[in-house]
Amino acid sequence: MENNSKTFFSKVKTYISDIVSLSDHIDTDKASQYIRSNIDFKGPNAYILAFAIIVASVGLNTNSIAVIIGAMLISPLMGPIFGIGYGLGTNDTSFLKKSFKNLIVMVVISVLASTVYFLVSPLELENPTELLTRTNPTIYDVFIALFGGSAGIIEISRKDKGTVISGVAIATALMPPLCTAGFGLATGSLKYFAGALYLFSINSIFIAIATLLAVKYLKFPMATFTDPAKQKRVSRWIAALVIIIIIPSVYSAVIMIRENNFSHTAKEFIAANKELSRSYIYDHSIDFRAKPPKVELFIAGEALSHEELNLIYKSAHEFGFTDDQIIISQNAATDQREMTDRVAIQSIYERSDQEILKREQIIDTMRKELQSYKTRELPYEQITNELLAQYPGLTNVTMTRGYSINPDSLGKRQEEILVILSAEKPISGENVEKLRKWLTVRLDFENVKLLQE
């Protein structure tokens, strides 16, 4: 029994080892050649970078996600970043310097090109969401860069390469932050410029760190061997850089989570108090800059009484808000005694979201009922013409849809179509039955009754 148990666990261990093992799938020599051949910034790469920058800038300027993704796929920026990680991992100082220099040149050219574009672009967006998302990086961007970079270097090292690099280029988003930095320079916004460069730094550094760790783990051939003391100093510098980069992103993530939770709770509180007695909350705003954050409610309709105000504050307490966090603005509300005709007409036209939704639901229900009625309408004229074609002697055709009720079971009723025919000469019983069967097929309804006057 004990031997069987050991054999089972040994098989499981071997199976798991086969799954996670990389040794049979990795070619470090080809990977090294690939990385070394993709750090140069000259010839085609220079043109491709310039074109990609313009494409990304246009995408950000027009809030077009598809265009931004296309620019990220075109960009050659990944090469020098992988080269920095590779140079650190293999102790290749000259290659590290070359990769770093090329990356700096690419960054400078990218920022300058995007700055020129945004200076000459006539398009200004009121809410440039794709630009704004590149100015406030968090710890989640660190995770994306680290694990995206890990996937990228493993893909580069794999014998049979696939399309992972394209996915890494999209996920880690190196081009958009540089374009946003150019936008910050063009508009004189230090917030945009600094936030975008910080995001680019996060992406670049953690892709390089992921490459460094993978190069060490996969045992890439070393260019030179350094003494342990120097290696320890390099490791300390890298660790210090990582900590310096991570701390602001963690703080930003904490702020983002708090604001998101506060906003969600505020919306629940407003939904619970949307409809008041003779007034309603028609809008709200949240001030996250205040300490603590505040929620301002905008009231329309009649001015709230003292009792109604107390009810709102009581409800706010149930959602975790204090009185100081709730600001009630009644500029659009009017006292009943001072209600003017203009305000009365305005209040008639002001509808809450729930009222509009109810009316839309009623209209939708009526529309469905009307459609159902139309589908059940019998084609009277067409059926009459077809019957006359078969029996020219018909003088009258009556057709209706209704229900038959059995007196013994009043709770049950059966739908039927009743057809009454009048003719110059009586129609034989056999022909009447043939007509009835024809009508069941023609009307696609089984319970057809055919009578003859």
Give the pLDDT confidence score for residue 347 in this predicted structure: 53
Distance, in Å, from the CA atom of 275 to the CA atom of 297, rounded to the nearest integer, reads 13
When pLDDT is averaged across residues 420-442 and rounded to a whole number, the result is 83
| Rounded percentage of the chain residues whose pLDDT exceeds 70 | 85
Q: Give yes or no for residue 245 having a pLDDT over 60.
A: yes
- DSSP letter string over 353-421? HHHHHHHHHHHHHHHHHHHHHHHH---HHHHHHHHHHH-TTEEEEEEEEEEEE-GGGTT-EEEEEEEEE
Q: How far is CA 230 from the centre of its chain?
A: 47
Contact call for residues 176 and 130 (beta carbons, < 8 A): yes
Q: What does the alpha-carbon distance between residue 106 and residue 179 come to, in Å, rounded to a whole number?
A: 12
Q: How far apart are CA 67 and CA 258, in angstroms?
A: 32
pLDDT for the residue numbered 23: 67
**pLDDT tens digits along 122-149:** 777 655 666 666 667 778 888 888 888 8
pLDDT of residue 348: 52
Q: Is the pLDDT of residue 293 over 80?
A: yes
Report how far Cα 405 is from the mean position of its chain's Cα atoms: 55
Mind listing the pLDDT tens digit for each residue in 67-117?
888 888 877 888 888 899 988 888 888 888 899 999 998 899 889 999 998
Q: Which of 79-93, 111-125, 219-233, 387-401 has the lowest mean pLDDT?
A: 219-233
Q: Determine the Cα–Cα distance for residues 352 and 360; give it in Å rounded to an integer.
A: 13
Decide if pLDDT at 349 tops 60.
Answer: no
Model confidence at 371, in pLDDT bands (50, 70, 90)? confident
Q: What is the pLDDT of residues 167-184, one digit of tens each?
A: 777 777 788 888 889 988
Q: Answer yes or no: is pLDDT of 344 > 80.
A: no
